[in-house]
């Protein structure tokens, strides 16, 4: 809710076309920022400001939210590769990983997200916001170890206990990489048993599925089943169909996701705009030959009786991913696996073994895909754009670390017209925020945190290539993080305004939030009164809000705000006032049957970024429905 105020703004942005994250058309508007939040949006604000930014010719959008970051902590300090793409938030520990230290290589360890995020809380901080998933692989390693065997009941319970601990610490969801050991050894039922401990938090289950090649259909169906039965929101990580024999399989996998959505499962996905992937060379070693971890894998290589069997398995796995060994680009040599085979006169299986014996953590880029699959995926309104990269300073890596979001805006919006600009912006902002349950980002609206990007829609483009990946994107002119310029006139400022983001216990993951009809939300109890009607897709909302904290202090709002509603919950953001009349940004989440409150109605709110209250409406009621 937004009440006009004469208090001066810190920054007034004029002249820009605003793509507010909802998917609605770009519109001319002025945007006012104060104390790190957007406090006003309108055609002519008429408010005094300490600074005015003339943004004529630029598009103003919410800062891009990166759902799938393998970012390096040292690179996140300055985050230049991310800022130049317009990214203001990255979520770490995807694909089941759990990480710690700086710098790091992704490892299946450390399900304690405090250890993952410790670097971001230390001086000098980070240029962008950082959060973390809790990784199933890390949970599995801590609970059941690395052996290919059935986990004992006590091992599963340890995983569940660690998962609950991470959820309480603010993990943004459960990530899984059922392709990777040790969780690859788990059965469907065992995975459901482990991850269902997170059900009360209404969070996403983001999964790198077991097989993206010949069994991609079965693996997609399994991932949907796991999340649905565990009470989580299914998110298929980096959607694709891998290997020439499987091109066009996305017709079937997307149909499976659509069928799940039709029966009420709020399924989603994410994708990067490239036809090559990057992961460890060890993924070519069949899981049964990696049982027991890295040392056991190397011991198998050294066994002259097992080595030919391992090499044969590698050849089979290679054929599932790429057309031939020329489609594997080795970061260690700068050449291809095919070239290595020719130079050393060995087959692909033996070549991979030798390379892993030299460096078990060796990385490679794999040419896997077909353009028609990528375009089919990008068209889906429930699929977010995510790099599978993150902040980076490496010379040899995948170009997605340096070009993902600008590549979508240039190649698939401006050049190919596959998406409109508002659709693409939504895929990078409000949609990933809704998938995570991130309450106060992803929109340009009063009450939202002022994570903002301004870019030239005609000049934005990616420059990174597979041969020279470390080339920064062009066209992003300004980036604000919590109202401070992190990138100004195309150059990093050195400001470290990024925050460690922790998921509040009342957050709700819902990819379809705000995508339905106009909604009306009412909630009445001893500490709150809300009666708000909102527009489609997070559009303007009107009504009245009264919140009362445990000390009896009141906070009120009336006027226009932003409302995103789901089937049994709603998120309201806006600007209101305390008893002294001073305006403050706020958000409120209302649920009609909150699993964290034993299925009772609940309301939670935050004022000026500080916790305000959260609890059941013991004497109240909640209604979420059409306006």
- Please tell me whether residues 357 and 376 are part of one structural domain: no
- Does residue 619 have a pLDDT over 80? no
Binned at pLDDT 50, 70 and 90, residue 118 comes out as very high
- Identify the three-state secondary structure at position 445: coil
Beta-strand pair 17-18/27-28: antiparallel
- Same structural domain, 320 and 380: no
> 627 falls in which pLDDT band (50, 70, 90)?
very low
Select from 519, 528, 493, 504 the least CA-distant residue to 596.
Answer: 504
pLDDT at 5 over 60: no
The first and second tokens of residue 298, run together, are 């190397």
Rounded to whole angstroms, the Cα distance separating 208 from 59 reads: 33
At residue 316, the pLDDT reads: 93
Q: What is the mean pLDDT of residues 173-194?
A: 96
Residue 358 CB: number of other CB atoms within 10 A? 9
29 lies in some domain: no
Rg over alpha carbons for the chain, rounded to the nearest Å, is 24
Chain-centroid distance, C-alpha 80: 19
Mean pLDDT, residues 572-585: 88
Which of the residue ranges 74-78, 451-455, 550-554 would you say has the lowest mean pLDDT?
550-554
- Flag whether pLDDT at 2 surpasses 50: no
The residue from 364, 379, 396 where one domain ends is 364
pLDDT category at 517 given cuts 50, 70, 90 is low
| One domain for residues 183 and 323 | no
Do 267 and 337 sit in the same domain of this protein?
A: no
pLDDT (0 to 100) of residue 186: 97
At residue 114, the pLDDT reads: 93
- DSSP 3-state assignment of 613? strand
Whether residue 3 has pLDDT greater than 50: no
Average pLDDT over residues 159-178: 97
| Contact present, 100 and 491 (Cβ < 8 Å) | no
Same domain assignment for residues 307 and 205:
no
318 plus 212 within the same structural domain? no
Q: Which parts of 91-180 fold into alpha helices (H)?
A: 113-121, 136-144, 153-168
- Structurally, the chain folds into a number of domains equal to 3
Cis peptide before 445 (omega within 30 of 0): no
pLDDT bin (cut points 50, 70, 90) of residue 103 is low
For residue 105, pLDDT over 70 is answered with: no
Average per-residue pLDDT for the chain: 92
463 within domain boundaries:
no
Residue 1 scores a pLDDT above 50: no
What does the pLDDT average to over 244-266?
96
The answer to whether residue 192 is domain-embedded is yes
Is 478 a member of any domain?
Answer: no
- Check residues 472 and 619 and name the one with the higher pLDDT: 472
Q: Is residue 606 part of a domain?
A: yes
Decide if pLDDT at 389 tops 70.
yes
Range of the domain at 159: 64-275+369-416
- Residue whose pair of structure tokens reads 């009666």 in the numeric block: 531
pTM over 0.85: yes
Same domain, 148 and 220: yes
Cβ neighbours of 414 (radius 10 Å):
17
Average confidence (pLDDT) over 149-171: 97
Of 388, 416, 444, the one marking the end of a domain is 416
Do 358 and 386 have their domain in common?
no
Q: Is residue 27 part of a domain?
A: no
Higher pLDDT among residues 478 and 514, named by residue: 478
Q: Are residues 194 and 334 in the same domain?
A: no
Average pLDDT, integer, range 487-497: 98
Q: Among the three residues 326, 343, 364, which one is the final residue of a domain in this structure?
A: 364
| CATH number of the domain bearing residue 105 | 3.20.20.140
Question: Of 619, 617, 593, 615, whose CA–CA distance to 604 is shortest?
Answer: 615
Residues 142 and 169 in one domain: yes
Claim to verify: residue 218 and residue 237 sit in the same structural domain:
yes
Contact 456, 477 (CB under 8 A): yes
Please tell me the predicted confidence (pLDDT) of residue 4.
42
Does pLDDT of 542 surpass 90? no
227 and 79, same domain (yes or no): yes
User: For 579-609, what is each residue's pLDDT tens digit?
Assistant: 888 889 999 999 999 999 999 999 999 988 8
261 lies in a domain?
yes
Which of residues 312 and 548 earns the better pLDDT score? 312
Q: Is 477 part of a structural domain of the chain? A: no
Does residue 610 or residue 63 have the better pLDDT? Answer: 63
């Amino acid at each position: 809710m937004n009440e006009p105020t004469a208090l001066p703004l810190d920054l007034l942005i004029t002249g820009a076309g605003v793509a507010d994250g909802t998917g609605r058309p770009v519109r001319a508007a002025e945007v006012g920022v104060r104390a790190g939040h957007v406090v006003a949006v309108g055609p002519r604000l008429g408010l005094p400001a300490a600074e005015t930014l003339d943004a004529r010719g630029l598009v103003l959008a919410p800062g891009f939210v990166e759902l799938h970051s393998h970012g390096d902590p040292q690179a996140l300090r300055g985050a230049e590769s991310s800022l130049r793409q317009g990214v203001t938030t990255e979520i770490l520990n995807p694909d089941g990983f759990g990480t710690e230290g700086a710098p790091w290589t992704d490892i299946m360890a450390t399900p304690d997200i405090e250890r993952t995020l410790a670097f971001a809380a230390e001086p000098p901080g980070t240029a962008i916001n950082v959060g973390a998933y809790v990784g199933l692989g890390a949970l599995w390693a801590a609970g059941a170890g690395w052996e290919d065997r059935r986990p004992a009941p006590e091992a599963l319970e340890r995983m569940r206990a660690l998962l609950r601990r991470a959820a309480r610490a603010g993990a943004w969801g459960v990530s899984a990489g059922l392709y990777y050991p040790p969780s690859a050894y788990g059965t469907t039922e065992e995975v459901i048993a482990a991850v269902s401990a997170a059900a009360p938090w209404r969070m996403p289950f983001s999964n790198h599925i077991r097989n993206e090649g010949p069994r991609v259909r079965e693996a997609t169906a399994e991932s949907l089943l796991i999340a649905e039965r565990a009470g989580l929101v299914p998110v298929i990580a980096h959607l694709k169909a891998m290997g020439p024999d499987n091109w066009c399989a996305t017709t079937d996998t997307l149909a499976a996701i659509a069928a799940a959505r039709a029966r009420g499962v709020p399924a989603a996905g994410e994708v990067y705009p490239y036809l090559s992937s990057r992961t460890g060379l060890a993924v070519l070693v069949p899981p049964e030959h990696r049982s027991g971890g890295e040392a056991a894998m190397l011991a198998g290589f050294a066994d002259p009786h097992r080595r030919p069997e391992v090499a044969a398995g590698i050849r089979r796995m290679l054929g599932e991913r790429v057309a031939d060994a020329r489609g594997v680009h080795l970061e260690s040599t700068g050449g291809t696996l095919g070239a290595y085979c020719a130079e050393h006169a060995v087959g692909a299986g033996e070549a991979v073994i030798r390379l892993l014996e030299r460096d078990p953590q060796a990385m490679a880029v794999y040419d896997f895909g077909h353009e028609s699959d990528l375009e089919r995926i990008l068209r889906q309104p429930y699929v977010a754009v995510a790099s599978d990269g993150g902040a980076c300073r490496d010379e040899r890596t995948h170009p997605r670390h340096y070009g993902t979001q600008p590549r979508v805006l240039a190649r698939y919006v401006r050049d190919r017209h596959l998406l409109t600009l508002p659709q693409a912006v939504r895929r990078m902002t409000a949609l990933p925020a809704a998938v995570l349950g991130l309450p106060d980002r992803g929109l340009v609206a009063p009450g939202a945190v002022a994570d903002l990007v301004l870019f030239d829609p005609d000049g934005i483009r990616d420059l990174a290539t597979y041969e020279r990946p470390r080339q920064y994107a062009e066209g992003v002119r300004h980036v604000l993080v919590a109202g401070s310029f992190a990138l100004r006139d195309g150059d990093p400022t050195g400001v470290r305004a990024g925050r460690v983001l922790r998921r509040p216990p009342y957050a709700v993951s819902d990819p379809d939030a705000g995508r339905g009809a106009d909604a009306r939300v009412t909630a009445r109890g001893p500490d709150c009164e809300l009666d708000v009607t909102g527009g489609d897709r997070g559009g303007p909302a009107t009504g009245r809000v009264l919140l009362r904290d445990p000390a009896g202090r009141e906070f009120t709002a009336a006027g226009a705000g932003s409302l995103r509603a789901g089937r049994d919950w709603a998120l309201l953001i806006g600007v209101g006032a305390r008893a002294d009349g001073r305006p403050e940004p706020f958000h409120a989440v209302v649920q009609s049957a909150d699993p964290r409150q034993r299925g009772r109605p609940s309301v939670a709110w935050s004022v000026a970024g500080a916790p305000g209250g959260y609890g059941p409406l013991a004497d109240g009621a909640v209604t979420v429905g059409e306006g």
